C-alpha cells in the first residue's frame, strides 16, 4: 500500500470484525470514488473500525461513516489532481 500512497491513492484500513453491512458500505465508498484510486485491506490489531490514509493525512472513524470517508477521499483526490 505504501507505493499507492506515494502515487496519491487513499488506503482504507479496517478491522476484519466489522459487520457485513459495514463492509458493504465501505466497499461502496471505495468503488464509487471518482477515478477509482483507492486500496483497502483488513488490519487485525486496529482499534478503530476504519481508517482512511493518504500520504499526508489520516481520517480515523469509530464506525463506518460513509459521508466522512467519501468527503475525505474526494477532498484529497481533488487536491492531488490540482
Question: What's the whole-number average pLDDT of the chain?
Answer: 86
How many structural domains comprise the chain? Answer: 1
**CB contact at 8 A, 79 and 12:** no
Residue 29, SS3 per DSSP: helix
Beta-bridge partner residues of 53:
11, 58
Position 2 confidence tier, pLDDT thresholds 50, 70, 90: low
CATH number, domain of 59, equals 3.40.30
Region 42-64: mean pLDDT is 94
pLDDT digits 0-9 by tens, 3-16: 555 566 788 999 99
With a cut of 80, say whether residue 18 has pLDDT above it: yes
Q: Give the integer Cα–Cα distance in Å for 19 and 21.
A: 5
The grid coordinates of residue 82 equal: 490540482
Taking the C-alpha atoms of residue 51 and residue 34, their distance in angstroms, rounded to an integer, is 19
* Digit-coded pLDDT (tens) for 24-48: 999 998 888 776 667 789 999 999 9
Range of the domain at 59: 2-81
Amino acid at each position: 500500500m505504501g507505493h499507492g500512497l506515494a502515487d496519491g491513492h487513499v488506503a482504507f484500513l479496517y478491522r476484519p470484525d466489522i459487520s457485513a453491512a459495514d463492509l458493504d458500505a465501505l466497499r461502496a465508498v471505495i468503488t464509487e470514488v471518482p477515478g477509482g484510486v483507492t486500496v483497502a485491506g483488513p488490519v487485525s490489531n486496529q482499534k478503530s473500525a476504519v481508517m482512511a490514509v493518504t500520504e499526508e493525512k489520516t481520517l480515523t472513524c469509530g464506525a463506518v461513516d460513509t459521508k466522512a470517508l467519501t468527503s475525505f477521499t474526494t477532498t484529497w483526490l481533488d487536491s492531488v489532481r490540482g
